Structure 1
Amino acid sequence: MQQPYSSDLTASQWQGIENLICVKRKSIWPLQRIVEAIFYLTKNGIIWRDLPEGFPPWQTVYWYFRKWSKNDTWVLMANELTMLHRVKVDKKPLPTVALIDSQSVKNSATATEHIGFDGGKRIKGRKRFMMVDTLGHLLWTDLRAANVADGKAGVLFWEQAEHLNRLLDDLLLMYADSTFEVILRIN
């Protein structure tokens, strides 16, 4: 009997995402256990090689994680779960209002791309942009050098997000703080 983890899925949770995963390759490991291993890794912040016994080998889990990252399976899952939750709390499936903001963070020793100096916050590193709906669901995220102005980056962020995320199709209003000097026009 395998040890239960807080990242394990219930039968109904697995049923909700099982059909969103497209796999042509037959595995000796159940897909649910592979997904649970990925959730365990991301929740606990461990390294791949430290995956506990009872999960598939870390190489198998990593292979599926990379495959699903490249083919946007994770985005599809996040979008479907967002829409299901919005309907569950009596909201329209697609949000009409969103919020955007950025945060400058210090650079890590291994990061070599998207690095700049945010003079206002005196931070050398990166700037992460996040867009959420009114319930706090993450709709889009992006990473830029810290020296990029919010207004300029906000426009680039929006242009990228609106074409790649179907959750933004019904968006009518976006809230942003005053550092986003450029007005983002929504269709």
Structure 2
Amino acid sequence: MQSHYTRLTDDQWKVIKQFINWQRNRELDLRNVFDAILYITRTGVQWRNLPFPNFPDWQAVYYYFDKWKKNGVIEKINLSLNFLERLQNDRQATPSLGLADSQSIKLAPMICSHRGIDGNKKVNGRKRHVLVDVRGRIYQVHVHAANFHDSPQGVNLLDEKAPYSERLETIIADKTYRGTFAKAVKQIGIEFEVPNREKSTKGFVIEAKRWVVERTFA
């Protein structure tokens, strides 16, 4: 994990640019645009506070981010890098085990859309669900107001037609995903498991394998 923001290396850009129309003549350097998007995701800065002239105008950067998000470019890049990283670590390209979990996040006071209070965590904001493999690489994300329950909302993580699903055999999640989510998982031919915890244990206990998704959130 990076401790601070760094720009793309030549090798990294060589992989990413295969997914975008970078050869067309344009005023903006798409590599600089992609660097700006990574800067925002790494630092959490607001779009309007994107440092200029280090990066292009924030509106231009957001235009490409919105475009690449809607046409699936960012998702394709993410999946391809996940597959490549797995192959480099002597694993098959697609995972057989998935790990699901959610995290409630506070929102800034001025943000009103898709906002709610998680009564359990006492968080006023949104909840994000992720589906990762055993290395913590993200394959699916779903975000919603924090007052909705995990199980029915977690169904949005499931996509049996997605390229990564061809080998998926089991999904592990905590007990809040029982019910609607568990039934939906089984309906598409995948096993659902909840980690067992010894009754004698007290306090915080690291659960086998599921700690990986907690690391992804961190």
Cα distance in 1 for residues equivalent to 2:141 and 2:5: 26
Count of aligned positions: 180
Structure 1 residue 78: Cα displacement: 0.6
5+ residue gaps in structure 2?
190-218
The yes-or-no answer on 1:46 pairing with 2:76 is no
Provide closer, same or farther for how the CA distance between residues 58 and 143 of structure 1 changes in structure 2, counting only shifts above 3 A.
Answer: closer
How do residues 61-140 of structure 1 correspond to structure 2 at under 5 angstroms? 61-140=61-140
Provide closer, same or farther for how the CA distance between residues 9 and 124 of structure 1 changes in structure 2, counting only shifts above 3 A.
Answer: closer
Cα distance in 1 for residues equivalent to 2:10 and 2:22: 20
Q: Deviations over 1:9-41 (max 9, x none)?
A: 111111111111135863123322221222223
Equivalence for 2:212: none
Question: Bigger shift: 26-35 or 65-74?
Answer: 26-35
Cα distance in 2 for residues equivalent to 1:54 and 1:178: 46
Question: Bigger shift: 65-74 or 121-130?
Answer: 121-130
Cα distance in 2 for residues equivalent to 1:12 and 1:129: 31
Equivalence for 2:193: none
The yes-or-no answer on 1:175 pairing with 2:172 is yes
Structure 1 residue 65: Cα displacement: 1.8
Equivalence for 2:36: 37
Classify the secondary structure of the residue corresponding to 1:179.
Answer: helix
Q: Deviations over 1:121-168 (max 9, x none)?
A: 3334322211111000011111123232222222x2244x444x4222
- Asked whether the 8 Å contact 1:7–1:43 carries over to 2, the reply is no
Cα distance in 2 for residues equivalent to 1:118 and 1:38: 29
- Asked whether the 8 Å contact 1:115–1:126 carries over to 2, the reply is yes
Provide closer, same or farther for how the CA distance between residues 124 and 47 of structure 1 changes in structure 2, counting only shifts above 3 A.
Answer: closer
Please report the TM-score for the alignment, with normalisation by the length of structure 2: 0.72
Classify the secondary structure of the residue corresponding to 1:56.
Answer: coil
Cα distance in 1 for residues equivalent to 2:147 and 2:59: 37
Classify the secondary structure of the residue corresponding to 1:174.
Answer: strand
Question: Bigger shift: 101-110 or 8-17?
Answer: 101-110
Structure 1 residue 76: Cα displacement: 0.9
Residue type of the partner of 2:26?
A: S
Cα distance in 2 for residues equivalent to 1:158 and 1:64: 25
The yes-or-no answer on 1:16 pairing with 2:18 is no
- Asked whether the 8 Å contact 2:130–2:157 carries over to 1, the reply is no
Please report the TM-score for the alignment, with normalisation by the length of structure 1: 0.82
Q: Deviations over 1:31-77 (max 9, x none)?
A: 22221222223222333344232433333322222211221211111
Question: Bigger shift: 133-142 or 174-183?
Answer: 174-183
